[in-house]
Amino acid sequence: MPDLRYRVRGGIPLRGDITISGSKNAALPLIAGSILCTGETVFRNVPRLRDIEVMLEILRFLGADASFHEGTVRIRTDRMQSKPIPGEFVGKLRGSIVLLGPLLARFGVVEMAYPGGCVLGKRPVGAHVAALVQMGATDMSTEEALHLQGALHPAHVVLPEFSVTATENVLLAAALLPGRTRIDIAATEPHVQDVERFVAAIGAKVEGIGTHTVTVEGVHQPACVEHRVVNDYLEMGVFALAALVTKGKVRIHGADPEQITMFLETIRRMGAVFRWDEDGVLFVDGELSSLRAVKVQTLIYPGFPTDLMAPMGVALTQANGVSRIFETLFEGRMAYLYELEKMGAHIEVLNAHEALIIGPTPLRGRQVASNDIRAGAAMVLAGLCAEGETTITDVRYIERGFDRLDEKLRKLGASIERIEEGESSK
């Protein structure tokens, strides 16, 4: 496959307006949810991402008709069947795990190679299996493949952890089961709430949306609906931080303050200047902001999102004082700090979960790598505020999670080029 890179020239304040795309983390389980409906399901505001294309490829492999055009996905699953999904599909996409619930609920069997994707430390499938076993599934998995079968029934499901995708698997499975399913220890992220709203739209009765205890009364024949994917609050956070580190002025359309309370409070403590306009647009004024050190700890939602820790780490290199970051969810999230050190950041890694960032330090352009989707975005932010030119490799990670990030940044005045195998920019 061709090598894709970004070449970024730093030192340019970002200015202008940007509109947030739909959430990948919502779109993937929603697309999986179309399996429950035998007519045409339509999703709008779908981001243009590699992960979305892979999920649609999987559904086509299973017999679905699926199209994707200008943010709209149309899916028909009336001729679909459940058959073993090979690693060439699911090995590219950790999010394919959300196929377990709807396939098992509709067909009584699901078999797939173990899902892949970003390397973020151990992300076991045990929570998914445990939840579906509580609903009546028999676990026949081997070391090579996940394999569950059996007729599911409504149940009281207690998740072993606050797992976003395990919560979504149970929600989607329960939607097709007449009777009452209760989910305890449910995740509450905005993308989970979007799945809950979809389940309600197709005919199930859902109570407790956005809480840790959710009940679903499923239906035998779900309705086919049109559904608009919720906007990506994580993308909003990246653009807010981009405005801060470049000392720019950016108006962000499509952000929802209710989704990002802890993030906004954290950057406020850091000295960020921002406001919500009357029309609901978030204006971030990096020029007036004077950044200072803070302590940041990731937590389950509505705490500080783990997916914004790496971009936040870049901002902390420009803050005055000693900041402490504490990543509580994934032990693999800290690798981006070593890339930042190449660029001149002053960092002390205390252990796999904690580090000190001493600032402000001027960053210098270097060649750095994208270790995962969010670390890749962090490297882009570092390049935007660094002196000179930064080359970011492995940008396929970035493009799995961000809808045309380079194009949006160019719209704000950034100097960023997309390079394919050393060819001219795109």
Determine the average pLDDT of the residues in 79-100: 91
Within this chain, do residues 224 and 236 fall inside the same structural domain, yes or no? Answer: no
Establish if 370 belongs to a structural domain: yes
Within this chain, do residues 252 and 279 fall inside the same structural domain, yes or no? Answer: yes
Establish if 332 belongs to a structural domain: yes
Confidence grade of residue 1 (pLDDT, cut at 50, 70, 90): low
Confidence grade of residue 2 (pLDDT, cut at 50, 70, 90): low
SS3 365: coil
Within this chain, do residues 263 and 314 fall inside the same structural domain, yes or no? Answer: yes
Distances (CA, A) of 136 to 52, 84, 133, 155: 30, 20, 5, 8
Domain finish residue from 200, 228, 256: 228
Number of domains, the chain: 2
Determine the average pLDDT of the residues in 48-64: 95
For the chain, how many residues are written? 426
Within this chain, do residues 406 and 331 fall inside the same structural domain, yes or no? Answer: yes
Share of the chain above pLDDT 70, in %: 96
Which pLDDT score is estimated for 272? Answer: 98
Mean pLDDT value across the chain: 93
Q: Which of 240, 303, 246, 308 is nearest to 274 (CA)?
A: 240
Within this chain, do residues 366 and 245 fall inside the same structural domain, yes or no? Answer: yes
For residue range 3-30, what is the model confidence (pLDDT) as tens digits? 889 999 999 999 999 999 999 999 999 9
Within this chain, do residues 244 and 277 fall inside the same structural domain, yes or no? Answer: yes
pTM of the predicted model, to two decimals? 0.93
Rounded to the nearest angstrom, the gap between the alpha carbon of residue 276 and the centroid of all alpha carbons in its chain is: 24
Within this chain, do residues 97 and 150 fall inside the same structural domain, yes or no? Answer: yes
Establish if 68 belongs to a structural domain: yes
Establish if 188 belongs to a structural domain: yes
Q: Are 337 and 302 in contact (CB under 8 A)?
A: no
Which pLDDT score is estimated for 357? Answer: 98
Establish if 426 belongs to a structural domain: no
Q: Are 343 and 368 in contact (CB under 8 A)?
A: yes
Which pLDDT score is estimated for 171? Answer: 98
Domain finish residue from 198, 228, 258: 228
What CATH number does residue 197 fall under? Answer: 3.65.10.10
Instruction: Residue 100: give the domain boundaries.
Output: 24-228
Query: d(Cα 4, Cα 138) in Å, to the nearest integer?
Result: 43
Within this chain, do residues 305 and 392 fall inside the same structural domain, yes or no? Answer: yes
For residue range 318-345, what is the model confidence (pLDDT) as tens digits? 999 999 999 988 777 788 999 999 999 9
Confidence grade of residue 218 (pLDDT, cut at 50, 70, 90): very high
Determine the average pLDDT of the residues in 105-118: 85
Establish if 425 belongs to a structural domain: no
Within this chain, do residues 69 and 149 fall inside the same structural domain, yes or no? Answer: yes
Least confident of 55-64, 110-119, 368-377: 110-119
Judged against a pLDDT cut of 50, whether residue 121 lies above it is answered with no
Within this chain, do residues 183 and 280 fall inside the same structural domain, yes or no? Answer: no
For residue range 140-167, what is the model confidence (pLDDT) as tens digits? 998 888 999 999 999 999 999 999 999 9
Within this chain, do residues 249 and 396 fall inside the same structural domain, yes or no? Answer: yes
Q: Which of 358, 350, 273, 249 is nearest to 313 (CA)?
A: 358
Domain finish residue from 212, 228, 244: 228
Catalytic residue list: 118
Within this chain, do residues 63 and 49 fall inside the same structural domain, yes or no? Answer: yes
Establish if 312 belongs to a structural domain: yes
